[in-house]
Amino acid sequence: MEYGNLLGNSFKAVLNNFVAYAIATVIMSFGSILFVTAPPLLYGFVMMIAKGARNEMVNGMDVLDGFRDGNFVRSWKYMLFVMIIAVLLSIVAMILLFFVGILSFGIIFTLGSSSSSIPESVTLAIAGILYLAVFLYNSDSCVFHVLYASSLCYQRI
C-alpha cells in the first residue's frame, strides 16, 4: 500500500470540498451539544467523508443524513457499541494503572532500603516505562473512534 498516495488523495478530497466540510463542522459543533443528536451528526459527517472519497458531489447539509432513512437508529447502535468497548477498555486501563502504581511504589520504596542494589535511575526509569506503557494502552481507545468511522464508511461504500 502506498500511504503517501492515500494521504495525498485524502487531502485532495478534503480541499476540493473544504467549504462543505467547514459548514458541516459548524453544524456538527453546535448540533452535538444535545446528546441525542451527536451520533446521527457524526454518522452524517462520516457519510460526507465517504462521498468525498468517492469523488461524489458533497453538500454541507449532507451532515444531516444521519437523521434520514433509518440512519438515526443505526447511528445509535454503532455509538453504543463503541461506547461499550471504550468503557471496557477504560476499566482494563484503570486496573492496569492500579497494579502499575502498586508495583511502582514497591520499586521506589526499595530504594530507601539499605540492601537495595538497584540504582535509583534504573528504578525510576522502570517506573516511568510502566506508566508510559499503560498510558499508551489507554490512548488506543482513540483507535475505536477511527474504527467506528471506518465501519460506517464501508457499510455504505
To the question of pTM greater than 0.95 for the whole model, the response is: no
| Listed residues 53, 69, 85: the one ending a domain | 69
Query: What's the Cα-to-Cα distance from 144 to each of 82, 84, 103, 129, rounded to whole Å?
Result: 7, 11, 29, 24
Provide the residue range defining the domain that includes 143.
Answer: 73-152
pLDDT value of residue 133: 67
pLDDT value of residue 13: 83
CB atoms under 10 Å from CB of 74, counted, come to: 16
Say whether both 65 and 114 belong to one domain.
Answer: no
| Listed residues 69, 91, 124: the one ending a domain | 69
Percent of the chain with pLDDT over 70: 64
Say whether both 85 and 65 belong to one domain.
Answer: no
Examine residue 157 and state whether it is found in any structural domain, yes or no. no
Say whether both 64 and 89 belong to one domain.
Answer: no
Examine residue 53 and state whether it is found in any structural domain, yes or no. yes
Say whether both 55 and 113 belong to one domain.
Answer: no
Q: Could you give the number of structural domains in the chain?
A: 2
| Listed residues 69, 89, 117: the one ending a domain | 69
Within 32-140, residue ranges assigned H as helices are 38-53, 71-112, 120-139
Task: Grade residue 15 by pLDDT with cuts at 50, 70 and 90.
Answer: confident
Does the pLDDT value for residue 3 go beyond 80? no
What is the DSSP-derived secondary structure letter of residue 1? -
CB 84 within 8 A of CB 56: no
Mean pLDDT, residues 111-119 taken together: 57
Query: What's the Cα-to-Cα distance from 149 to each of 3, 45, 103, 110, rounded to whole Å?
Result: 19, 9, 37, 47
Say whether both 50 and 115 belong to one domain.
Answer: no
Examine residue 129 and state whether it is found in any structural domain, yes or no. yes
Does the pLDDT value for residue 49 go beyond 80? yes
pLDDT value of residue 11: 83
Mean pLDDT, residues 132-147 taken together: 56
Angle formed by the axes of helices 71-112 and 38-53, to 10°? 100
Give the whole-angstrom CA distance, residue 118 versus residue 113.
10
